[in-house]
């Protein structure tokens, strides 16, 4: 049966018949020894003609059910008790149902040709199972909150049955995908519209997720988003998205920046979500800086938070706070530069003796450096040394930033929309994040970036090629520190106070986790990783006590099942799946195509 493994890459345009894919049954018998028939293929009724109408019925029930009341009481998950007025929790199911419908129609029906490119069966399967999980959790929440399943209204049951039918249909369908979406050739306006739609979806999704009032609704959104993303990924949709994102990089960058820029305007002046958003942004910007060190140069830095702290302390001691000890008060932009340079100098001091040795030593030294920084800041209180940092109490009451009369502490009206205090900082942090992203991509595509690749691959060989190994490593280390210091100066004003306990080792670990989870060496991946890691504990207060355990578990599972991270370039994937010859071949094919396109 057509699975991902036996796709035959073709360069044909859509609609032109491709050579038939190699089917499992055509394979020689000895293959069966190590490739037993998957459980999925022994599913009863698989391949039957009933699967497709069953799926359509499922979609109709799932979507139809959302227009009916799900709950007898009106105080669960917002309000699910009104007929013909679906709320957010129900709209998620409508969206999931509609995507499943598109997949079904691509399987058989008007969008038949699309089905040649996508693994529709797998998509319907995952979407159905996801919807089913979503419905079961929803019904569970209703039952627990209002005392028994009796409180579930017919709509809830109808949607659940619908989800079940979609899942069954997906399990029975056999997809007729015959082409690899990696070789799809689409017109550029389709690509740009797709990017715009996806970005808009991200904006709406983020607004909805942040606006959810209960942990339950937020968790349900996560289930929904995960099912949708996984389903589309299974279908091969994201392979194509990755391709067009590469092709239309500028559009994507501009679009993503526009979405991020528009986000505060959706919040109606409320600071509640913006304060989370600014924290996410500080975290993401710092993680992107760390990504240069870890992802590009391949240096393990376990004390990176100290560079953020160094910037923050520079920002604080040079501010107008009553506890600031440095008399000189330069303008903020100068402070940003001083903070960044101070961090970079620290980076040079730590880096120059340790970067000559490899790997583990650097990790240990940076780990120690992070702690030394924290203790030093806690001790420079006048008793044990010069009075610089006000010791363990830190420097409180750092005044708000003020750019040419624009007070960051006050709400402002822009085009009739109120922009609160955190939104002001959000815009400033967005600029910092944009600078870091720009530096990152520029470096990655430069001669320096190629040198880093060589160092990551084989340090000794790189040296023999004329790569200045030590110099480039030191540059990555100091450069990463510079960017973190820059972000730190803003963080000091944003947080209003700095104290040593903000810069504990755990924070460094989280930064590293964001980079690894998202995908080392990528911008999008690290942004996603940082968002997940910062947003989840904020919205799911109840997991806060267990968050370390959960993140640990997630990371272990990631290393087992997707070591390249959530987002990874094809080539990066190869680094983790060296023996995957199919992948190597696919990459080669794509590379050849690119070459031909250039010629």
Binding site for other proteins (CB under 8 A): 447, 450-451, 453-454, 457-458, 460-469, 471, 571, 574-575, 578, 581, 584, 587-588, 591-592, 595
Of 179 and 573, nearer to other proteins (C-beta) is 573
Q: How far is the CB of 469 from other proteins (least distance, A)?
A: 8
User: What percent helix, strand, coil does the chain show, rounded to 5?
Assistant: 70, 5, 30
Q: How far is the CB of 464 from other proteins (least distance, A)?
A: 5
394 three-class SS: coil
Q: How far is the CB of 475 from other proteins (least distance, A)?
A: 13
Of 223 and 467, nearer to other proteins (C-beta) is 467
Alpha-carbon distance of 261 to 256, in angstroms, equals: 8
Q: How many CB atoms neighbour CB 289 within 10 A?
A: 32
Of 545 and 578, nearer to other proteins (C-beta) is 578
Report the candidate in 219, 77, 135 with the shortest Cα–Cα distance to residue 535.
219
Contacts 24+ apart (CB under 8 A), 33-38: none
520 three-class SS: coil
Of 411 and 563, nearer to other proteins (C-beta) is 563
Q: Under a CB-based contact definition with an 8 Å cutoff, are residues 395 and 498 in contact?
A: yes
Q: Under a CB-based contact definition with an 8 Å cutoff, are residues 300 and 376 in contact?
A: no
Q: How far is the CB of 597 from other proteins (least distance, A)?
A: 13
Of 414 and 592, nearer to other proteins (C-beta) is 592
Q: How far is the CB of 579 from other proteins (least distance, A)?
A: 10
Of 56 and 469, nearer to other proteins (C-beta) is 469
Strand 417-419 relative to strand 412-414, pairing: antiparallel
Length of the chain: 599
Of 334 and 592, nearer to other proteins (C-beta) is 592
Question: In this structure, what are the phi and psi dihedrals at residue 178, rounded to the nearest 5 degrees?
Answer: -130, -5
Q: How far is the CB of 184 from other proteins (least distance, A)?
A: 20
Q: How far is the CB of 589 from other proteins (least distance, A)?
A: 8
Distances (CA, A) of 84 to 64, 90, 217, 469, 479: 10, 11, 20, 65, 56
Q: Which residues contact 370 (CB under 8 A, 6 or more apart)?
A: 302, 303, 304, 305, 306, 503, 505, 508
Q: Under a CB-based contact definition with an 8 Å cutoff, are residues 124 and 173 in contact?
A: yes
Q: How far is the CB of 482 from other proteins (least distance, A)?
A: 23
Alpha-carbon distance of 427 to 261, in angstroms, equals: 7
Alpha-carbon distance of 69 to 288, in angstroms, equals: 45
Q: How far is the CB of 99 from other proteins (least distance, A)?
A: 35
For 177, the enclosing helix (H) or strand (E) is: none
Residue 585, Cβ density class (10 Å: 0-12 exposed, 13-18 middle, ≥19 buried)? exposed
Question: In this structure, what are the phi and psi dihedrals at residue 597, rounded to the nearest 5 degrees?
Answer: -65, -35
Q: How far is the CB of 352 from other proteins (least distance, A)?
A: 15
309 three-class SS: helix
Of 467 and 523, nearer to other proteins (C-beta) is 467
Of 118 and 454, nearer to other proteins (C-beta) is 454
Of 266 and 468, nearer to other proteins (C-beta) is 468
Q: How far is the CB of 449 from other proteins (least distance, A)?
A: 11
Q: How far is the CB of 598 from other proteins (least distance, A)?
A: 12
Of 460 and 541, nearer to other proteins (C-beta) is 460
Of 371 and 593, nearer to other proteins (C-beta) is 593
Of 329 and 450, nearer to other proteins (C-beta) is 450
Q: How far is the CB of 81 from other proteins (least distance, A)?
A: 57
Alpha-carbon distance of 121 to 118, in angstroms, equals: 9
Q: How far is the CB of 574 from other proteins (least distance, A)?
A: 6
Torsion of CA 565, 570, 573, 575, to 10 degrees: -130
DSSP 250-262: HHHHHHHHHHHHH
Cα-to-chain-centroid distance, residue 439: 20
Of 381 and 575, nearer to other proteins (C-beta) is 575
Buried b / exposed e along 388-426 (16+ C-beta atoms within 10 A): bbbbeebbeebebbeeeeeebeeeeeeeeeebbbbbbbb
User: To which residue do tokens 């470096």 refer?
Assistant: 443
Q: What is the CA radius of gyration of the chain?
A: 27
Q: How far is the CB of 590 from other proteins (least distance, A)?
A: 9
Report the candidate in 291, 592, 591 with the shortest Cα–Cα distance to residue 441.
291
Alpha-carbon distance of 215 to 537, in angstroms, equals: 10
Of 455 and 536, nearer to other proteins (C-beta) is 455
């Amino acid at each position: 049966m057509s699975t991902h493994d036996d796709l035959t890459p073709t360069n044909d345009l859509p609609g032109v018949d491709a050579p038939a894919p190699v089917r499992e049954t055509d394979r020689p018998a000895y293959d069966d020894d190590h490739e037993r028939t998957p459980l999925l293929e022994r599913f009863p009724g698989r391949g039957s003609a009933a699967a497709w109408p069953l799926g359509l019925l499922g979609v109709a029930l799932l979507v139809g059910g959302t227009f009916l009341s799900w709950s007898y009481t009106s105080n669960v998950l917002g309000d699910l008790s009104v007929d013909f007025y679906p709320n957010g929790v129900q709209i998620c199911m409508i969206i999931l149902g509609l995507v499943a419908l598109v997949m079904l129609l691509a399987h058989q029906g008007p969008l038949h040709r699309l089905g040649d490119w996508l693994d529709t069966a797998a998509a319907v399967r995952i979407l159905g199972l996801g919807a089913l999980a979503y419905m079961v959790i929803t019904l569970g929440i209703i039952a627990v909150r209002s005392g028994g399943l009796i409180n579930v209204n017919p709509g809830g049951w109808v949607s659940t049955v619908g989800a079940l039918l979609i899942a069954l249909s997906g399990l029975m369908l056999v997809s007729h995908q015959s082409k690899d979406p990696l070789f799809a050739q689409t017109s550029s306006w389709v690509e740009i519209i797709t990017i715009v739609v996806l970005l808009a979806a991200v904006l709406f999704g983020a607004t909805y997720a942040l606006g959810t009032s209960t942990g339950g609704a937020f968790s349900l959104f996560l289930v929904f988003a995960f099912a949708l993303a996984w389903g589309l990924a299974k279908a091969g949709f994201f392979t194509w998205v990755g391709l067009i994102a590469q092709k239309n990089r500028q559009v994507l960058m501009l679009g993503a920046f526009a979405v991020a820029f528009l986000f505060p305007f959706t919040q109606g002046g409320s600071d509640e979500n913006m304060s989370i958003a600014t924290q996410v942004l500080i975290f993401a910007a710092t993680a992107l800086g760390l990504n240069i060190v870890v992802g590009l140069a391949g240096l393990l830095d376990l004390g990176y938070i100290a560079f953020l702290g160094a910037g923050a302390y520079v920002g604080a001691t040079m501010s107008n706070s009553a506890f600031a000890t440095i008399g000189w008060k330069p303008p903020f932009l100068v402070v940003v530069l001083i903070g960044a340079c101070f961090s970079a100098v620290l980076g040079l001091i730590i880096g120059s003796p340790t970067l000559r040795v490899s790997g583990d030593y650097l990790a240990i030294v940076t780990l120690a450096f992070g702690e030394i920084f924290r203790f030093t800041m806690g001790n420079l209180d006048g008793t044990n040394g010069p009075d610089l940092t006000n010791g363990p109490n830190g420097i409180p009451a750092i005044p708000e930033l003020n750019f040419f009369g624009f007070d960051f502490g006050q709400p402002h009206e822009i085009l009739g929309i109120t922009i609160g205090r955190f939104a002001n900082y959000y815009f400033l942090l967005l600029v910092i994040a944009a600078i870091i992203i720009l530096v990152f991509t520029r470096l990655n595509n430069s001669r320096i970036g190629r040198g880093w690749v060589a160092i990551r691959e084989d340090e000794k060989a790189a040296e023999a090629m004329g790569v200045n190994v030590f110099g480039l490593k030191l540059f990555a280390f100091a450069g990463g520190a510079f960017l973190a210091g820059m972000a730190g100066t803003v963080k000091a004003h944003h947080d209003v106070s700095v104290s040593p306990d903000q810069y504990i080792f755990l924070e460094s670990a989280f930064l590293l986790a964001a980079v690894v989870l998202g995908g080392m060496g990528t911008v999008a991946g690290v942004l996603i990783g940082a968002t997940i890691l910062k947003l989840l504990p904020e919205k799911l207060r109840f997991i806060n006590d267990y968050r370390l355990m959960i993140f640990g578990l997630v990371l272990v599972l990631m290393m087992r099942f997707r070591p390249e991270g959530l987002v990874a370039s094809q080539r990066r994937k190869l680094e983790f799946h060296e023996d995957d010859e199919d992948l190597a071949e696919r990459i080669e094919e794509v590379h050849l195509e690119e070459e031909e396109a250039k010629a």
